[in-house]
Amino acid sequence: MNQYLATAIAAARAAGGRQRQSYEQTHLIEFKGEINLVTEVDKACEELIVSAIRTAYPDHDIIAEEEDYARRGSSSVWIIDPLDGTTNYAHGFPWFCVSIALEQEGEVVLGVIYQPFTDELFTATKGGGAWLNGRPIRVSQRSPLRSCLLATGFPYDRTPDNENNFAHFYNFQFTARAIRRAGSAALDLACVAAGRLDGYWECKLNPWDVAAGSLIVREAGGRVSGYGGETYDIRNHRIVASNGLIHDEILAVLAQKEGGR
């Protein structure tokens, strides 16, 4: 596992260096949907990470955001978001990261999230705890929900689809101390793990958004589930992560009718 972790850290730092190099420059922007951006930096970082992993572990499978990679039937699968927070990055807003996870036999066993703007490296391995720049981290001890700071996000197709998170956001405005919407699911999860945020919920996510962060939260002593409290799987597009103390309160709010108080 140490060898896997070293590979992931080196790849994340290299991709982060590429992001710093091009930060606040004019980017070549393409669209994967009406407002879902991808830049040349996303693609370059994914190529860099995939090349590093393929060089070290040529038989492993890869799932990444920007390209489809032929499956090789391996029980080891690397799950990569080369630049989480692309819209932020394209606008020069300094909240973005690299996220790399390793799944073995269907279970995430390693997670790395690197924030190049602040040079913060969040890491975890199954059973090995959660770490920030080599220091152990733990979730917060704050409760109840009315005393807590939460984070969330909104899906790219929030206009045409009823599952847009607006109602839940409204309900939490009346039950939590405050809510932040910064634009990177991976960093939101990392901040829950570090105790900076007390809880987080979001919908319409992909495995690369949450694979690393969900493990880091668990290894920091937090709780991760689906909206109904079910055991979380990274292919569940709805996630709740918290310090554990307020988890049931978050689930109760998510169960409310839309627009209720």
- 260 by Cβ neighbours in 10 Å (0-12 / 13-18 / 19+) ranks as exposed
Structure tokens that stand for 242 in this block: 């918290």
Q: How far is Cα 167 from Cα 162, in angstroms, rounded to an integer?
A: 10
Same domain, 35 and 150: no
Q: Which comes out higher in pLDDT, residue 207 or 68?
A: 207
pLDDT at residue 211, rounded to an integer: 98
Which residues are within 8 A (CB) of 151 and not within 5 positions of it... i.e. 6 or more apart? 179, 180, 181, 182, 188, 191, 192, 197, 199, 200
Calculate mean pLDDT across residues 28-51: 74
Q: What residues make up the domain containing 126?
A: 2-136
Q: How far is Cα 205 from Cα 199, in angstroms, rounded to an integer?
A: 16
Same domain, 75 and 9: yes
Instruction: Indicate the DSSP class of residue 22.
Output: H
Which of 136, 162, 195 lies at the terminal end of a domain, its last residue?
136
The amino acid at residue 155 is P
Same domain, 79 and 154: no
Same domain, 219 and 97: no
Calculate mean pLDDT across residues 76-105: 95
Residue (of 166, 121, 106) closest to 11 by Cα position: 121
- Tell me the three-class secondary structure of 75-123, residue by residue: CEEEEEEEEECHHHHHCCCCCCEEEEEEEECCEEEEEEEEECCCCEEEE
Q: Which comes out higher in pLDDT, residue 18 or 70?
A: 18
pLDDT at residue 84, rounded to an integer: 96
For residue 208, the domain's CATH number is 3.40.190.80
CA quadruple 203, 50, 36, 98: dihedral, nearest 10: 60
pLDDT at residue 40, rounded to an integer: 85
Q: What is the pLDDT confidence band of residue 37, given thresholds at 50, 70 and 90? A: low
Same domain, 73 and 159: no
For residue 76, the domain's CATH number is 3.30.540.10
Give me the numbers of helices (H) and strands (E) for the chain, helices first please.
7, 14
Q: How many domains does the chain have?
A: 2
Same domain, 128 and 189: no
Q: Which comes out higher in pLDDT, residue 66 or 87?
A: 87
Tell me what percent of the residues of the chain surpass a pLDDT of 70: 91
Same domain, 186 and 66: no
Instruction: Indicate the DSSP class of residue 212.
Output: H
- Cis status, amide bond into 144, omega within 30 of 0: yes
User: Residue 195 domain-assigned?
Assistant: yes
User: Residue 102 domain-assigned?
Assistant: yes
pLDDT at 1 over 50: yes
